[in-house]
Chain A
Amino acid sequence: MTAPPVVLLVDDEPHILSSLSRSLRREGWTLRTADGPTAALEILRSEAVMLIVSDQKMPDGNGLDLLAAAGACRPGIRRVLLTGWPEMLTAGELDAAGIDAVLPKPWEDTVLKETLRSLL
């Protein structure tokens, strides 16, 4: 049996991490959380993360930069950006960071689950 996929959730708001984990707890994935890009990169270096979901605006860096760095660190990783202002980002920016999907904030639970499932 293969090990369950590792999913990394990144947001500076602990309650967001907590509610994301709540939504995804039955998916059978190993969930990891980080409160910002610095902590996320540490986890990325040490663990075989397959999917990363990141907030855009965080005090120690933005989500686009983190997701671009995640791709460099773990080639083939799937990348999802969670943002309240999806319309502020251009297709060019999303492509450059290698984003697979953008999810709005607040998100619909079912859309979140379906999007992530489709990427794994």
Chain B
Amino acid sequence: MRDRTTPPRLLIVSDDADELVRAIHGASYAWRLEIVGDLELAGAALAGADVWALDADAVGTDAIPWVRRARAVPGIVWQRTPSDAGELNAYRAGARGVHGAADDCLGAIAQLLDDVARSPQRTEESDAFPELTRDIIETMNSAVWVVDEDARIRFANPTAAAIVGMDADELVGLPVTHFFRTGAREDVPILQAIDHGVRLRGTEAVLTRDDGRVVPIGLSCAPLMGTEAGRGAVVIFQDLTEIKQLEQQVLQAEKMASIGQLAAGVAHEINNPMGFIHANLCQLTEYTADLGRVWERVESLRKAAGGERVDPQALRAAATELDTIVDEVDAAFLLDDFGKAIHESLDGSERIRTIVQDLRAFSHQDTAERAMTDVNKALDSTANIVWTMMKHAVKLVKNYGEIPPIQAFPVPLKQVFMNLMVNAYQAIEERAVLDPTHRGEIRLRTEVADGGVRVTVVDNGCGMAADVLPRIFDPFYTTKEVGVGTGLGLSTSYNLVERHGGRLDVESIEGQGASFIVWVPIEAPL
């Protein structure tokens, strides 16, 4: 706790803090600076700090876990290179702000220090506590409801009123079910908390406003015991709309990155049939011209054979001409080959159609709705499209079991399969660099297991070391070269499988390959 007469202490975690320090001195802030160049030292220095600023560019992928550990002390992330995903993760980990420009950092730090100075821990005047508590509740950026045992709202702060789009006074007396219209009573988490005295932390829910707008919220809920009002609960929630939008953007960006990798393979697959369809059409134009010449002679022959008086000499001449042209253009061959060329071209156009259909499945935006999904079909269409990029290097072995349809989000599920297969392919490519004679193989297996469907993607690529395995699902963790991976593929996959209430596991032996195991329940969890 800081003595108010001494200047506040700012911990800067950066190996290149000059710009920030110059800005602080330029703005004449009377802060005591402690500059630490690495995260290990930063942990120890945190104890004495009032506020911290972490240079994300300097510390890289370890930033997020550090922010998570440091969240008890307010701080901001200084991120000179903008990244939506990085920003999102920093906020999630507990950063109070993410700023690019040094000046913005200063403003945010000054604001945090103001907040710290006004916070209740900093005051000894305990008499003022109830009033202070009210001040905090009225000004805090989270929504607060106090609900009674009948689940009616007894108190709402201004933020809560703003999120639901009503005045705080109007809110009092309304049942919470007014805002949670979907599903049965047991589907409303707040009611669970009230009915069973359950404590909720960070549960996601969807709130419906009076104007019909739905707002995704993250809520915490604790039962109130022994109050005069009897049982009830205090509910704190945040509007997650922006975070959800950011998440959606990251997901879409990740999907597009994978599709970019696929594009070359797909283009090659389409180009081959295009090549022979085009050549066949040119050839058929010639065939038609040749057959046209035959038809001209047929017409002449008919003319010579018709009429009132047939001239046998003219008839014979016409027949000879027809014979000559039939031989010249090789009419028998033309007729036979005409059919073959059409048949082959149809086969080619069918192949193009299949590729486009498989590809289209990925261009859909994700929907929030689960749908009955045939996992074998989803896996197979994904495998077909992904295989186009790797067919020259990889043998694909499919072993699909008999599995029931499951309630799933079809597009995310396909994206998981695509990420895992692209990942497997990259591992095989990496092994091929060391051993060019190595024959790549990806095996896909589906089966029913533990009340769910299990999908296994096995590759014989380079594998991963035991010390790498625990980190591969972390965001931005990548062992690939710059430009090859975003470091989000596996962490995105992990989140998408989790969203299904499922699991994503990995097993690997370095140098020999890896297995990724997706398990999703058949029945959607509540």
Complex: chain A residue closest to B264, CB-CB: A85
Q: How far is the CB of B526 from chain A (nearest CB, A)?
A: 49
Cβ contacts A84-96/B at 8 Å (1 or 0 each): 1100000000000
Cβ contacts A24-55/B at 8 Å (1 or 0 each): 00000000000000000000000000000000
Q: How far is the CB of A82 from chain B (nearest CB, A)?
A: 8
Of the stretches A2-10, A12-20, A69-77, the one at the interface is: A12-20
| B275 part of interface (Cβ distance < 8 Å) | yes
15 A-B pairs within 8 Å (CB atoms) are namely: A16-B276, A18-B276, A19-B276, A19-B344, A20-B279, A22-B283, A22-B341, A23-B279, A84-B267, A106-B277, A106-B279, A107-B275, A107-B278, A109-B282, A109-B283
- A23-B279, A84-B267 given; 20 more Cβ-contact pairs under 8 Å: A13-B272, A15-B273, A16-B275, A18-B276, A18-B340, A19-B279, A19-B344, A20-B279, A22-B279, A22-B337, A23-B283, A58-B392, A59-B392, A84-B272, A84-B275, A105-B275, A106-B271, A106-B274, A106-B275, A112-B279
Complex: chain A residue closest to B285, CB-CB: A109
Q: Looking at A59, A109, A112, which has the most chain B CB atoms within 10 Å of its CB?
A: A109
| B370 part of interface (Cβ distance < 8 Å) | no
Alpha-carbon gap, A19 to B274, bound state (A): 11
Q: Is the CB of A18 within 8 A of B275?
A: no
| B300 part of interface (Cβ distance < 8 Å) | no
Complex: chain B residue closest to A56, CB-CB: B268
Interface size class of B (residues with CB under 8 A): 20 to 34
A interface residues with partner B (beta carbon < 8 Å): 13, 15-16, 18-20, 22-23, 57-59, 84-85, 105-109, 112
Q: Looking at A58, A105, A107, which has the most chain B CB atoms within 10 Å of its CB?
A: A105
Chain A residues positioned under 8 Å from B344 (CB to CB): 15, 18-19
| B391 part of interface (Cβ distance < 8 Å) | yes
| B347 part of interface (Cβ distance < 8 Å) | yes
Alpha-carbon gap, A10 to B348, bound state (A): 19
Choose from B268, B341, B391, B392 the contact partner of A19 (Cβ within 8 Å). Answer: B341
Choose from A20, A58, A84, A109 the contact partner of B271 (Cβ within 8 Å). Answer: A84
Chain A residues positioned under 8 Å from B273 (CB to CB): 15
| B280 part of interface (Cβ distance < 8 Å) | yes
Chain B residues positioned under 8 Å from A85 (CB to CB): 268
Complex: chain A residue closest to B329, CB-CB: A26
Q: Is the CB of B279 within 8 A of A57?
A: no
Chain A residues positioned under 8 Å from B275 (CB to CB): 16, 19, 84, 105-107
Alpha-carbon gap, A107 to B275, bound state (A): 7
Q: How far is the CB of A27 from chain B (nearest CB, A)?
A: 13
Alpha-carbon gap, A111 to B317, bound state (A): 39
- A-B contacts counted at CB < 8 A amount to 58
Q: Which 5 A-B pairs have the closest CB atoms?
A: A109-B282, A19-B279, A19-B276, A106-B275, A84-B271
Cβ contacts B298-342/A at 8 Å (1 or 0 each): 000000000000000000000000000000000000000100110
Alpha-carbon gap, A49 to B376, bound state (A): 48
Choose from B271, B341, B348 the contact partner of A105 (Cβ within 8 Å). Answer: B271
Q: Is the CB of A57 within 8 A of B267?
A: no
Choose from B279, B347, B348 the contact partner of A109 (Cβ within 8 Å). Answer: B279
Q: Is the CB of B268 within 8 A of A84?
A: yes
Q: How far is the CB of A43 from chain B (nearest CB, A)?
A: 21
Chain B residues positioned under 8 Å from A15 (CB to CB): 273, 276, 344, 347-348
Complex: chain A residue closest to B395, CB-CB: A59
Chain B residues positioned under 8 Å from A106 (CB to CB): 271, 274-275, 277-279
Q: Is the CB of A59 within 8 A of B271?
A: no
Chain B residues positioned under 8 Å from A13 (CB to CB): 272, 276
Alpha-carbon gap, A58 to B392, bound state (A): 7
Q: How far is the CB of B438 from chain A (nearest CB, A)?
A: 15
Cβ contacts B362-399/A at 8 Å (1 or 0 each): 00000000000000000000000000000110000000
Chain B residues positioned under 8 Å from A16 (CB to CB): 272, 275-276
Complex: chain A residue closest to B344, CB-CB: A15
Alpha-carbon gap, A50 to B228, bound state (A): 102
Chain B residues positioned under 8 Å from A57 (CB to CB): 268, 392
Q: How far is the CB of A9 from chain B (nearest CB, A)?
A: 12
Alpha-carbon gap, A60 to B341, bound state (A): 27
Alpha-carbon gap, A101 to B272, bound state (A): 19
Q: How far is the CB of A83 from chain B (nearest CB, A)?
A: 9
Alpha-carbon gap, A85 to B79, bound state (A): 40
Chain A residues positioned under 8 Å from B391 (CB to CB): 59
Chain A residues positioned under 8 Å from B340 (CB to CB): 18
Alpha-carbon gap, A20 to B282, bound state (A): 11
Q: How far is the CB of B436 from chain A (nearest CB, A)?
A: 12
Q: How far is the CB of B355 from chain A (nearest CB, A)?
A: 14
Chain A residues positioned under 8 Å from B279 (CB to CB): 19-20, 22-23, 106-107, 109, 112
Chain B residues positioned under 8 Å from A20 (CB to CB): 279
